[in-house]
Amino acid sequence: MIKYLIVILISSLVSLNITGGYSGDPGEVYAIKLNQDEDVSSHLIIEKDGIRFAIVALPYNKQGGFIKFYDKNIFINNKDFGESRITIKNTSMVNLSPEDSIRASKESKIIRDALQTFSTQYKSNLNFSNPVEGIISSRYGKKRFINESPRSPHLALDIAAPEGTKVIAPEEGKVILVGDFFYSGNYLILDHGYGLLSSYSHLSKINVSMNQLIEKGEKIGEVGSTGRVTGPHLHWSVYLDNTRINPESIIKDNFLESIL
Ligand SMILES: [Zn+2]
C-alpha cells in the first residue's frame, strides 16, 4: 500500500515537473503569458492590463503529448469525447465514384490552401456569438463511424435547425472561400485574422460573396442539407493556426476572461 502511494506521489511529481504547469484539453486554446521581448507577430496575441498573451491551439491529435511554443511545452490531456454512429443510405456519397473522388480531392486541396490564410486586417477577442439558433446534434471530438466503418473524428460542431434558418457571422471577418463542394455542399470560410478562421457547411443558401467584409452578426447564409448530410444542420468549424478547435468553447459567455 505504502509502496503504491509512493509510486503515485513520484509519478505525480514527475508529471508536474515535465508539464511545467502548462496543460489543457484537446481542442481548447491556451493563453500563454509572454515576456516583453518575445516576437510573436505570427500569432494571435491578446493584451490585458498591459500583459500580452499568445493564444495557442491545443490539437486533438496530440493527446497525451506535448506541443512546443517557443521555450514552453504544453501538455495535451487525454479526453474521451464519446462516439457518433451515422448511417448514410446514399452509398455513392460513401464509396465515391472515380469522378467524385477526383472532385473531392481537388476540393480538399482548395480548402486546405484557403485555411493557410494569415491576415492582419482583423483581430478577434475570441468572444464569438452563436452562428445559428438550433439544437446541437454532434459535438466536437466524437469518434465517428459512417455505416459502421471508422472515420476521422468530428472536429466541428453540428447544430441542427430547420432548412432556411438564418446563419450569422459569429465574429467580423472576410469571406475567403465560397462555393459548392462535394462533401460540404454550399460552403464558405471566414477569415477573422491572425490565423483564426471559421467555416460553414451544408448551407441551402449563401448570402455573401468572395472577398466581402462581414460584420459580426451579419447574415451569411441559411441552414440546409447540401453535400454529404443526414438532415439539415450547420457543420461549423473553427481553426486557429490550422488546428481545429472546439467551437462550443468560444461561444461561452466571457470565454476570453476565462482563459486569461
Ligand atoms: Zn458535422
Q: What pLDDT digit, counting tens, does each position of 177-232 carry?
A: 999 999 999 999 999 999 999 999 999 999 999 999 999 999 999 999 999 888 99
User: Taking all residues of the chain, what is their mean pLDDT, rounded to a whole number?
Assistant: 91
- What is the separation of C-alpha 115 from the centre of its chain, rounded to a whole number of angstroms? 11
Cα(47) to ligand 1 centroid in Å equals 33
Report the chain's terminal Cα–Cα distance, integer Å.
40
Using CA atoms, how far apart are residues 173 and 85, in angstroms rounded to an integer?
34
217: nearest Cα among 150, 129, 140, 120: 129
Bridge partners for 46 per DSSP: 53
Cα(138) to ligand 1 centroid in Å equals 7
DSSP state letter for 54: E
Cα(237) to ligand 1 centroid in Å equals 8
Cα(208) to ligand 1 centroid in Å equals 22
Using CA atoms, how far apart are residues 217 and 173, in angstroms rounded to an integer?
11
Cα(68) to ligand 1 centroid in Å equals 29
Residue type, 203: L
- What is the separation of C-alpha 103 from the centre of its chain, rounded to a whole number of angstroms? 24
Across 85-94, 104-113, 122-131, least confident range: 85-94
- What is the separation of C-alpha 240 from the centre of its chain, rounded to a whole number of angstroms? 7
Cα(127) to ligand 1 centroid in Å equals 22
The DSSP secondary structure of 80-136, one letter per residue, reads ---EEEE--S-GGGTS--HHHHHHHHHHHHHHHHHTT----S----S-PPPSS-SEE
Residue type, 232: P
What is the structure's pLDDT at 15?
A: 46
Q: How confident is the model at residue 17 (pLDDT cuts 50, 70, 90)?
A: very low
* pLDDT over threshold 70, residue 63: yes
Cα(140) to ligand 1 centroid in Å equals 8
Count how many Cα atoms sit within 13 Å of the Cα of residue 141 in the half-sphere of its side chain: 20
What share of the chain in percent tops pLDDT 90?
Answer: 75
- Considering the chain, tell me which residue range(s) the CATH 2.70.70.10 domain(s) occupy: 83-259
pTM, full prediction: 0.89
60: nearest Cα among 138, 141, 126: 141
* pLDDT over threshold 90, residue 39: no
* pLDDT over threshold 70, residue 151: yes
154: nearest Cα among 55, 237, 210: 237
* pLDDT over threshold 90, residue 97: yes
What is the structure's pLDDT at 10?
A: 46
* pLDDT over threshold 50, residue 41: yes
* pLDDT over threshold 50, residue 68: yes
Cα(158) to ligand 1 centroid in Å equals 5
CATH number of 83-259: 2.70.70.10
* pLDDT over threshold 50, residue 259: yes
Cα(159) to ligand 1 centroid in Å equals 8
pLDDT tens digits for 118-143? 999 999 999 999 999 999 999 999 99
The residue with cell 459580426 is 216
* pLDDT over threshold 70, residue 165: yes
Let me know: does 159 contact 233? Beta carbons within 8 Å.
yes
Residue 28: φ, ψ to 5°: -95, 175
What share of the chain in percent tops pLDDT 70?
Answer: 92
Let me know: does 70 contact 78? Beta carbons within 8 Å.
no
123: nearest Cα among 69, 50, 47, 210: 47
106: nearest Cα among 184, 30, 182, 4: 182
Cα(256) to ligand 1 centroid in Å equals 25
Cα(123) to ligand 1 centroid in Å equals 26
